[in-house]
Amino acid sequence: MTQPQTLFEKVWNRHLVRPQTADTPAVLYIDLHLVHEVTSPQAFTELRQRGLRVRRPDQTIATMDHSTPTTPRGLDGLIPVTDAQAAAQISQLERNCDEFGIPLYRLGSENQGIVHIVGPEQGLTQPGMTIVCGDSHTSTHGAFGALAFGIGTSEVAHVLATQCLLQSKPKTMAVRIDGRLHPGVTAKDIILAIIAKIGVGGGTGYVFEYMGEAIRALSMEERMTICNMSIEGGARAGMIAPDDTTFEYVAGRPRAPKGAAWERAVEQWRRLPTDEGATFDAEIRLDASALTPMITYGTNPGMGMPITSAIPNPGDFSDPSQRAALDKALNYMGLQPGQPLLGRPVDVVFLGSCTNSRISDLRVAANLMEGRKVAPNVRMMVVPGSQQVKRQAEAEGLDQIFRAAGAEWREAGCSMCIAMNGDQLQPGQYAVSTSNRNFEGRQGKGGRTFLASPLTAAATAINGVISDARELAS
Amino acid sequence: MEPITTFSGTCVALPIENIDTDQIIPARFLKATDKQGMGDNLFADWRYAANGQPNPDFPLNRPEAKGAQILVGGHNFGCGSSREHAPWALQGFGFRAVISTYFADIFRNNALKVGLLPIMVDPETHYQLVSMVEEDPTTPVTIDLEAQQVRLPDGQAISFPIDPFAKYCLVNGVDQLGFLQSQEAEIAAFEQQYGARINTGARG
Ligand code: SF4
């Protein structure tokens, strides 16, 4: 009998072109390489300089999302790109994909969207795969039981040229979430609670495997929200064992296997879950039934708390560097220790990003907002994660609910999650955002971000102040 | 890549914990399609005031920071995004090494790829280095990659760990992409037995 293995080990071992030795890292084969306009141009330049081709264009896919505007289309049906640098980056990606034969979801075309939304949507993301992208939120795809992680531009060139990466084997951490969530508490709250518990460096060097009753009960879209933010806990990748929920989600998607190939694939995927008796290098536990909606108050995703709590006092920390960090964060945020966040006015509500811009996120928010209005002091932006999510939402009339409430209904993209596309906070503004990073200036220079769930975002938009959606149930 | 063995220089201390890549280089500077000029935008939102003038209190703007080659950052340096623009910007400013208690995984990886040394020391040594730099920013520090040592003028030598393969590549100027290409036969053999898992729709 072979040693019991974890999900991670099974996927890792299956992709070893060469195992790790004392002197050399493993050569790991990559099934799927996702490319976007911001982290790829210098990699293609490298290929040109060396006279190399893309080894597997058929395992590579490109989309445009980060620097693309989300402003509504003009009369010509096109999305106007007014920023010259962004326009140059977009046309550079078009040229690169043409020259190297890589399929591209062009700006505004039917499959375009945030790279981590389109992979799963197209059925490109499948259990057991290795998936990389020049983007740290590649961890999202781990929700399918894939080993998926972000890489830098040098490595993007490595994968383009060889379909392989040099990798040292990471450690594994079991993240067990037992119990059941209470109504009004969501997947976003689970992951914000995990990060608040372990801190933004707590997962450094590890691949997470999320498990337990609460994880099993989640939909694929909710699982993606959790895996998406693994990197915010310092883990490069987060995985969830595939099960019937996974297979149902993948089945029938454009790039998923069909017919007999599908049957064979599912049979293999069923062998992926961690074997009984397999060991992890570390383990943490959380009780889902003890969780409440979470919100961040500081300038990294680890500075989070239950929405009903008060901002902690730097004086409560014994470690001087933690104290200094909290001081600095509260100073940037313009907040005082001991204050509650509930009831605090905000200027902007952003519903979007690869964390929370899938159809179920939009449904949850629309459900709460139906027949209600966005408060007059608030600008609310709703940015679907992909053109497909946008079409689906429009078919369900969700766009009408948002518009009638006074929210902006935008084109698909990263938008205000990263503020490099024209969508951004003004200095000093406060936002409740469903995205994943509240770093200083992340949503625009001088902007201040509170990370929370789509439910909290919708409730806040209606009330104009930070609100607990449980008190506003429809 | 140029081989890296030993170099000496002064340090700048920025002992803030969890310095994320959005601080190292804000996203609005990622619209470039090359690597030029990244150093000018290093720590842009901390370094420049709203009117675009350098903020005189920021450590990188102090006169003694000129020509510094080593940055001493706080715990968990480089967390956040995968942007390689972060090490490019640090190098663009003139840094050749960053010292911290630990680094975010992707940042460390990226830094090693481009020849910016991520040097990990224990919290006590870190504290000592920060105090030393704050007391006398002109203190010359030597980094010896081969010996894996940070050497101080008082004779103290601090050992640091580094991935052996990354070290081999840096010391010998070995190009990692070239190394991967040299594995072609094994990659082809792997693909042969593996069979394609996906087709993204590329024209054949
Ligand atoms: S939505 Fe935000 S976090 Fe996600 S890929 Fe885009 S910029 Fe990155």
Mean per-residue pLDDT over chain A, rounded? 97
Q: How far is the CA of A385 from the centre of ligand 1 (A)?
A: 10
CB A465 within 8 A of CB A387: no
| Nearest atom within ligand 1 for CA of residue A357 | 1
Rounded CA-CA distance B152/A242 in Å is: 52
What's the total number of domains in chain B? 2
Cβ(A294) – ligand 1 distance below 6 Å: no
Strand partners, A387: none
**Secondary element (H or E) of residue A290:** none
Cβ(A111) – ligand 1 distance below 6 Å: no
> Residue A236 is encoded by which pair of tokens?
């490069």
| Chain centroid to CA A28 | 24
> Residue B21 is encoded by which pair of tokens?
């890549």
**Chain A interface, best mutation among B180, B190, B199, by max A CB count within 10 A:** B180
CB A383 within 8 A of CB A72: no
**Secondary element (H or E) of residue A453:** none
A108 in B contact zone (CB under 8 Å): no
Do B93 and B189 lie in one domain? The reply is no
Residues of A in contact with B85 (CB under 8 A): 153
- Contact (CB<8Å) B31/A86: yes
Q: C-alpha dihedral over A184, A187, A190, A194, to 10 degrees? A: -160
B134 in A contact zone (CB under 8 Å): no
* Closest C-alpha among A260, A262, A209, A459 to residue A343: A459
> From its phi and psi, is residue B101 left (phi > 0), alpha (psi between -120 and 50) or beta?
alpha
- Contact (CB<8Å) B181/A162: yes
CB B143 within 8 A of CB B119: yes
Name the residue of chain A whose CA is nearest to B114's CA. Answer: A154
Determine phi and psi for B103, rounding to 5 degrees: -120, 150
Q: How many other C-beta atoms are found inside a 10 Å radius of the C-beta of residue A152? A: 29
Strand-strand pairing, A282-287 and B157-159: unpaired
Do B179 and B127 lie in one domain? The reply is no
Asked if the structure places residue B34 within a domain, the reply is: yes
Rounded CA-CA distance A7/A442 in Å is: 34
Rounded CA-CA distance A222/A373 in Å is: 27
Do B197 and B128 lie in one domain? The reply is no
Do B151 and B192 lie in one domain? The reply is no
> Ligand 1: which of A354, A357, A386 to mutate, judged by most atoms within 8 Å of the beta carbon?
A354
* Closest C-alpha among B97, B46, B106 to residue B78: B106
Rounded CA-CA distance A204/A147 in Å is: 16
Rounded CA-CA distance B96/B87 in Å is: 9
Rounded CA-CA distance A302/B79 in Å is: 12
* Closest C-alpha among B143, B43, B145 to residue B85: B43
CA distance B79 to chain A (A): 7
Q: How far is the CA of A180 from the centre of ligand 1 (A)?
A: 29
Supply the range of the domain harboring residue B203. 175-204
Q: How many other C-beta atoms are found inside a 10 Å radius of the C-beta of residue A275? A: 14
B200 in A contact zone (CB under 8 Å): yes
Whether the pLDDT of residue B203 is over 90: the answer is no
Rounded CA-CA distance A422/A455 in Å is: 25
Do B10 and B55 lie in one domain? The reply is yes
Calculate mean pLDDT across residues B135-150. 97
B127 in A contact zone (CB under 8 Å): no
Q: C-alpha dihedral over A60, A61, A64, A65, to 10 degrees? A: -90
Do B108 and B202 lie in one domain? The reply is no
Residue ranges of E strands in A241-365 = 282-287, 294-296, 304-306, 348-351
Strand partners, A27: A18, A166
Q: Work out the burial of residue A260: count CB atoms within 10 Å of its CB; fewer than 13 is exposed, 13-18 middle, 19 or more buried.
A: exposed
Residues of B in contact with A126 (CB under 8 A): 197-198
Calculate mean pLDDT across residues B135-161. 97
Rounded CA-CA distance B77/B16 in Å is: 9
pLDDT above 90 coverage of chain A, percent: 96
Among B17, B20, B84, the residue with its CB nearest the CB of A152 is B84
Distance linking the first and last C-alpha atoms of chain B: 35
Residues of B in contact with A170 (CB under 8 A): 105
* Closest C-alpha among A230, A182, A195 to residue A209: A230
pLDDT tens across A152-192, in order? 999 999 999 999 999 999 999 999 999 999 999 999 999 99
Asked if the structure places residue B1 within a domain, the reply is: no
Do B160 and B203 lie in one domain? The reply is no
Residue ranges of E strands in A354-393 = 379-382
* Closest C-alpha among A222, A156, A197 to residue A359: A222
- Looking up residue B152, the CATH number of its domain turns out to be 3.20.19.10
- Can you give the pLDDT at residue A186? 98
Strand-strand pairing, A448-451 and A430-433: parallel
- Interfacial B residues in 36-95 facing A (CB < 8 Å): 45, 50, 74-76, 79-85, 87
Q: How many other C-beta atoms are found inside a 10 Å radius of the C-beta of residue A128? A: 21
Residues of A in contact with B199 (CB under 8 A): 58-59, 255
Strand-strand pairing, B141-144 and B149-151: antiparallel
- Can you give the pLDDT at residue A39? 96
Do B116 and B46 lie in one domain? The reply is yes
Cβ(A414) – ligand 1 distance below 6 Å: yes
- Can you give the pLDDT at residue B38? 95
**What is the DSSP-derived secondary structure letter of residue A428?**
T
- Can you give the pLDDT at residue B72? 98
The segments of chain A whose pLDDT lies below 70 read: 1, 473-474
DSSP chain B: -----EEEE-EEEE--TT-BHHHHS-GGGGG-SSSTTGGGGTTHHHHB-TTS-B-TTSGGGSGGGTT--EEEE-SSBTBS---THHHHHHHHHT--EEEES-B-HHHHHHHHHHT-EEEE--HHHHHHHHHHHHH-TT--EEEETTTTEEE-TTS-EEE----HHHHHHHHHT--HHHHHHTTHHHHHHHHHHH----------
Residues of A in contact with B80 (CB under 8 A): 136, 231, 437, 439
CA-only gyration radius of chain B, Å:
19
- Can you give the pLDDT at residue A366? 98
A86 in B contact zone (CB under 8 Å): yes
Three-class SS state of A299: coil
Do B196 and B149 lie in one domain? The reply is no
DSSP B135-165: H-TT--EEEETTTTEEE-TTS-EEE----HH
Residue recorded with tokens 């590579």: A60
pLDDT above 90 coverage of chain B, percent: 95
- Can you give the pLDDT at residue B2? 86
Asked if the structure places residue B95 within a domain, the reply is: yes
Strand-strand pairing, B6-9 and B141-144: antiparallel
pLDDT tens across A357-384, in order? 999 999 999 999 999 999 999 999 999 9
Do B28 and B104 lie in one domain? The reply is yes
Asked if the structure places residue B204 within a domain, the reply is: yes
Rounded CA-CA distance A249/A219 in Å is: 9
- Contact (CB<8Å) A255/B201: yes
Q: Is the ipTM of this complex over 0.85?
A: yes
Whether the pLDDT of residue B204 is over 70: the answer is no
**Max CA separation in chain B (angstroms):** 64
> Residue A9 is encoded by which pair of tokens?
């080990």
Q: How far is the CA of A170 from the centre of ligand 1 (A)?
A: 24
- Can you give the pLDDT at residue A2? 79
Do B13 and B70 lie in one domain? The reply is yes
Q: Work out the burial of residue A277: count CB atoms within 10 Å of its CB; fewer than 13 is exposed, 13-18 middle, 19 or more buried.
A: exposed
- Contact (CB<8Å) B180/A58: no
CA distance A436 to chain B (A): 10
- Can you give the pLDDT at residue A318? 87
Q: How far is the CA of A241 from the centre of ligand 1 (A)?
A: 24
Rounded CA-CA distance A80/A372 in Å is: 31
Name the residue of chain B whose CA is nearest to A326's CA. Answer: B17
Cβ(A418) – ligand 1 distance below 6 Å: yes
Cβ(A221) – ligand 1 distance below 6 Å: no
- Interfacial A residues in 151-180 facing B (CB < 8 Å): 151-155, 157-158, 161-164, 166, 168, 170
pLDDT tens across A66-97, in order? 999 999 999 899 999 999 999 999 999 999 99
Q: Work out the burial of residue A382: count CB atoms within 10 Å of its CB; fewer than 13 is exposed, 13-18 middle, 19 or more buried.
A: buried
Rounded CA-CA distance B146/B52 in Å is: 41
Cβ(A232) – ligand 1 distance below 6 Å: no
pLDDT tens across B69-98, in order? 999 999 999 999 999 999 999 999 999 999
B113 in A contact zone (CB under 8 Å): yes
Asked if the structure places residue B11 within a domain, the reply is: yes
Residues of A in contact with B17 (CB under 8 A): 321-322, 324-325
What value, to the nearest 5°, has the Cα angle with vertex A104 and ends A100 and A108? 150
Among B28, B33, B80, the residue with its CB nearest the CB of A92 is B33
Q: How far is the CA of A324 from the centre of ligand 1 (A)?
A: 28
Whether the pLDDT of residue B172 is over 90: the answer is yes
Asked if the structure places residue B87 within a domain, the reply is: yes
Do B29 and B52 lie in one domain? The reply is yes
CA distance B10 to chain A (A): 23
Q: C-alpha dihedral over A36, A39, A43, A45, to 10 degrees? A: 90
- Pairs across A and B, CB distance < 8 A: 219
